[in-house]
Amino acid sequence: MFWQRLSVIMAAIFLLIFGCGKKEDVIKIGEFGSLTGLTATFGINTDRGIQMAVEKINQEGGLLGKKVVVIVEDDQGKPEEAATAVKKLINQDKVIAVLGEVASSRSLAAAPICQEAKIPMITPSSTNPEVTRKGDYIFRVCFIDPFQGDVMARFTYNDLKIKKVAILRDIKNDYSVGLANYFAEDYKKLGGQIVGDESYSEGDIDFRAQLTNLKSKKAEAIFVPGYYTEVGLLVRQARDLGIRIPIIGGDGWDSPKLIEIGGKALEGCYYSNHYSPDDPDPLVQSFVLEFKAKYGELPDAMAPLGYDAAMVLFEAIKRAGSLDPAKVRDEIAKTKEFSGIAGKVTIDSLRNAEKPAVIIKIENQQQKFVKWMYPEKKS
């Protein structure tokens, strides 16, 4: 019984090793993401965006006369699995570029591998500055945490005229911890006051204790740089406890699920984002419509970023006119004013995307565009 099973497994391994030798005339792109595990929803939404980009490019006749195939590997949300997935994509599937990860921790585990193999990697939504410092083959198409922290600090202090803020961060999430730190730094520089700093962990569903603590701090707003998976519930519980001040956050908030879960509690809350689904730009509108038709819901921020990452890569391949990873890399680095769904992308010398952030207010359970915030020119 057992030996039979073992032999089946062995046979499968051999098939895997020798079965993949077929040559096809396609362009292979690798993608790794958390399709299962704690953060599966982010991986799946990024994947949807990327799949739409691939579909679009193939409808237009592919790249350099070839069809584009994206090979998706799941990393279960674990850094060491991300490393295995990327190794497999590069060495087994021979992809010419890698797209991935939402979470900076997985991107950080994968980046040295791509750098070593000299395969360009574009992360759609890892906002930690550390990621692209891993080498000259690592890029991103989103803004970075220091910028977002700065934007929210300026908006809160200058536009909302709020001088006392309490912070509630997700301690197990580097994105949230980083963003909270950058926000606090810039906010204090502007003259604001941080009156409380509490934390929770991803996956928590009870935030009443932290909120009860913050309630007595006389803050005028609470900054919650978390993911929508927790924020909706958090805001709801804040209102249950009688906390009526505005709650503000970052791009992790963006999802139709946020309003579904948070409901009326979210009235008058603000967050910064990469794009606004009700941006009248036809590019955005057609994307939103297409996404809705395909998956039956509004896209969250991950989907357009996944789409943009794929598109930036395709454009670079087009311009390079070759599938040589080194040439593709050079072209990605030259990306300028690329019109993505989530804003115009220009890759800077640190391989980060320079782009503005949009501030969104929630009114009548709808996202409402407030204003664009641009990087502050350092004098």
Partner 1 sequence: MNQLKKILLIILFLGLFLVLDLLISPRMNPYYLQILIYCGINIILAVSLNLINGFTGQFSIGHAGFMAIGGYTSAAFTFYLGPKILETLFLPLWFSKPLVFVAGLLLGGTLAAFAGLLVGIPSLRLRGDYLAIVTLGFGEIIRVFILNIDAIGGARGFSDVPKYTSLFWVLGFTVLTIVVVRNLVYSTHGRAFLSVREDEVAAEAMGINTTWYKVTAFVIGAFFAGIAGGLLGHYLQYLHTNSFTFIKSFEVVMMVVLGGMGSITGSILAAVILTLLPEVLRPVKDYRMVFYSILLVILMITRPQGIFGVREFNWDWLKKIFSRKKAQAEGA
Partner 2 sequence: MQELIQQLINGITWGSIYALIALGYTMVYGVLKLINFAHSDVYMVGAFAGYYSAHWLGIAENPSVPKAILVMLISMIVCSCLGVIIERLAYKPLRKSSRLTALITAIGVSLLLENGGQLVFGADPKFFPQLIEGQEIWSKSGIVISNLQLIALIASLTLMGILQLFVYKTRTGKAMRAVSYNIQVASLMGISTDKIITITFAIGSALAGAAGVLVGLNNPKIDPIMGLLPGLKAFVAAVLGGIGNIPGAMLGGLIIGVAEVMTVGYLSSTFRDAIAFGILIAILIFRPAGILGKSTTEKV
Residues engaged in binding partner 2 (CB under 8 A) = 35-38, 40-41, 44, 171, 198-201, 203-206, 208-210, 212-213, 215-216, 229, 232-233, 236-237, 240-242, 257, 260-261, 263
DSSP label at residue 377: P
Residue 82 phi/psi, 5-degree rounding, is -60, -40
Stretch that binds partner 1, among 4-12, 213-221, 336-344, 353-361 (CB under 8 A): 4-12
| Residue among 154 and 215 whose Cβ is closer to partner 2 | 215
For residue 54, give Cα distances in angstroms to 95, 152, 186, 196, 218: 15, 34, 39, 46, 50
DSSP 3-state percent helix, strand, coil across the chain (nearest 5) = 45, 20, 30
Instruction: Quote the least distance from Cβ 97 to partner 2, whole Å.
Output: 26
| Residue among 17 and 205 whose Cβ is closer to partner 2 | 205
Question: Residue 315, CB half-sphere, CA atoms under 13 Å: how many?
Answer: 18
The site partner of 241 among partner 1, partner 2, none (C-beta below 5 to 8 Å per kind) is: partner 2
Q: Determine the longest span between alpha carbons in the chain, in angstroms.
A: 74
The site partner of 84 among partner 1, partner 2, none (C-beta below 5 to 8 Å per kind) is: partner 1
Distance, in Å, from the CA atom of 271 to the CA atom of 308, rounded to the nearest integer, reads: 21
353-354/357-363 β-pairing: unpaired
The site partner of 216 among partner 2, partner 1, none (C-beta below 5 to 8 Å per kind) is: partner 2
Tokens, residue 160: 């909302």
Q: Residues for the chain: how many in total?
A: 379
Could you give the strand order of the β-sheet that contains 270-273, starting from the edge strand earlier in sequence? 193-200, 164-170, 221-223, 247-249, 270-273, 357-363, 366-373
The site partner of 237 among partner 2, partner 1, none (C-beta below 5 to 8 Å per kind) is: partner 2
| Residue among 7 and 201 whose Cβ is closer to partner 2 | 201
Binding characters for partner 1, 179-218, by CB under 8 A (x = yes): ----------------------------------------
Among 6, 26, 209, 283, binds partner 1 (CB under 8 A): 6
Distance, in Å, from the CA atom of 264 to the CA atom of 284, rounded to the nearest integer, reads: 26
Distance, in Å, from the CA atom of 281 to the CA atom of 354, rounded to the nearest integer, reads: 19
**H and E: helices and strands count for the chain:** 12, 15
| Residue among 174 and 198 whose Cβ is closer to partner 2 | 198
The site partner of 206 among partner 2, partner 1, none (C-beta below 5 to 8 Å per kind) is: partner 2
124, 130, 136, 138: CA torsion to nearest 10:
-20
The site partner of 321 among partner 1, partner 2, none (C-beta below 5 to 8 Å per kind) is: none
Among 46, 51, 104, 229, binds partner 1 (CB under 8 A): 104
Binding characters for partner 1, 165-184, by CB under 8 A (x = yes): ------xxxx-xxx------
- Give yes or no for residue 109 binding partner 1 (CB under 8 A): yes
The site partner of 210 among partner 2, partner 1, none (C-beta below 5 to 8 Å per kind) is: partner 2
Residues contributing to the site for partner 1 (CB under 8 A): 1-2, 5-6, 9, 12-13, 16, 35-36, 72-74, 76-80, 83-84, 87-88, 90-92, 104-105, 108-109, 112, 117, 128, 130, 134, 171-174, 176-178
